[in-house]
Structures are given as C-alpha cells and as structure tokens.
Amino acid sequence: MKTLHEYIKEAEKKKVAIGHFNISNLEALHAIYNAAKKLNVPVIIGLSEGEESFVDREEAVALIHAIRERDNYPIFLNADHHHSFETVKKCIDSGFDTVIFDGTELSFEENIKISKECVDYAHKINKETGRDILVEGELGFIGSGSIIRDEIPEGAGVKTTPENAEKFVKMTGIDLFAPSVGSIHGLIRHGKPHTDPELIAQIKKVTGIPLVLHGGSGLTDEDFTNAIKAGISMIHINTEIRVAYVEALKKSLIDNPEEVVPYKILQPAVEAIEKIVEARLKLFNNLE
C-alpha cells in the first residue's frame, strides 16, 4: 500500500483532494469508513486534542491500524489541531500517520519555532523507524472549534499572505501547509464564508508543498472545486457531520421512545454521517 504522502502527491497530480473527517466515537468511524470504502478512495480520520482524550490516543491508533491491515485499505490517522510540541510528540510516538501543530494563536516567530521542533522530531523518527510521518503547520485565522456562529467573525478577513506562507514553510520544513484562505471552522447561520482560489494558487506556487483546507463545513460545492483546482489537496470536515449526528440521534430518540438497544438507536446517526461523507468524497474526488 502507498503511504499517505504518496496518496497526497497522487491527489495533487489528479487535481482532487483527500477527505479528512473527525471522529468522537465508533459510530462516526464506521460511517466515514463505509462511505470511503464504497467509493474506493483514501480517507483520513482526525482527532483533535479534545476528541483524542475522549476516544483515547492508543485505542484510536489500534482501530485505524486494524482496519488498514485487515482490509488493506488506505485509511490514515491525523492528530488534528494539537497546540504543543508535547502533545504532537505523544501522537507521533503512539503511531499517528500525520500531526498538526496549530500555533495560530502564537506569534509568527513562536509558531515557526515550535512547528520546526515538531518537524525535526517527526523526521528523526522517520529515519530511525522507516515510518513516513507528515507534519502540518497552520498560519492565519481560521477560527477554532465546532461553533455555530450567527455571523462570519471579523478575523475571517485576515488571510495568509504568500510572503508569510513562503517564509513559514522554508523556516519550518513542514510537509503540509494550512493557510487561511477564507474558510472558517464551524457553521455560519447568516452569510457564508468563501475560499479565495487566487490566493490559494499564489500560496501553492511559492510554497511548493501540499495545501490543506480547514473549516470545510458550510462551504459551497463551488468553493470546494475552485479550491481544489487552485491547489488544495486535503479538506477537513467536522462540524457538518457533528450536526448531522446530533440531529439524527435526537430524531431517533423521539421516534423510538421505548427503544433501549443502543445500536438500533444509533443507526440513523451512522447513516446521516455516511450520507454526508459520501457526498463530500464524491465532490472532492470528482466522482459521479
């Protein structure tokens, strides 16, 4: 099986994007995997620091590795939005395939410093073990958390400049780069954020490494396709599937007030996530 790095490079050449979906439980994992397997496309499972503490770091690694080895399927695990070298290191040591150091709330210099520390450690482990761990850095305002906001936050207008992107990538040696290009974490009730394909293309040109789009929930299909054409090779979706899960679960409980079998109550929630993931993966991979 190809490595995640090879699948990302393949996505770059084909002008498609690999879907990245976060989980908090087994239901979401099964739904995401079912959708990816149905379409026969690679998929990345993400765990933020909060999700990781709930699911358990080592158990998540064991689950993903078991599926990958059992089915010989390209499913990978990412440490999404980790905020310190220590937490990134723990995920690398536990067996994650890729990690993100999110230093967006730090100064430019401090973000570079810790991102490089993460890169140096991951690449050291790669040399010692033959693994191919990827490190992603993030620069600019994308917001944080699965928040449902009334309006687009003011900071959304502050995008990553090509000049800062080029400097950041050169000074850190990161493998993947997540710039701020108009998308926002969470969902917006009034108004929609939009990606800036011209900026994406400029950043892609000066950095020369795979680009990642965060805050995919709530974007239009056109935003996604334009971003992919401009140079995005991986797209994160989380809030959208969380909302679908909760709404389906609420309905299931209301419709079946006497049901006490968990897997029967939870099945509609699994199906709701699977439906969204399948639609997104079809769009990202240019499938009918």
Q: What are the catalytic residues?
A: 80
DSSP-derived secondary structure letter, 286: T
Cα–Cα distances in angstroms (integers) from residue 237 to residues 54, 93, 231, in the given order = 19, 25, 18
Q: What does the H/E/C string look like for 80-142?
A: EEECCHHHHHHHHHHCCCEEEECCCCCCHHHHHHHHHHHHHHHHHHHHHHCCCCEEEEEECCC
Question: 3-class SS at 148?
Answer: strand
Tell me how far apart the alpha carbons of residues 26 and 244 are, in angstroms, rounded to a whole number.
15
Q: What is the DSSP secondary-structure string of 219-259?
A: --HHHHHHHHHHTEEEEEE-HHHHHHHHHHHHHHHHH-TT-
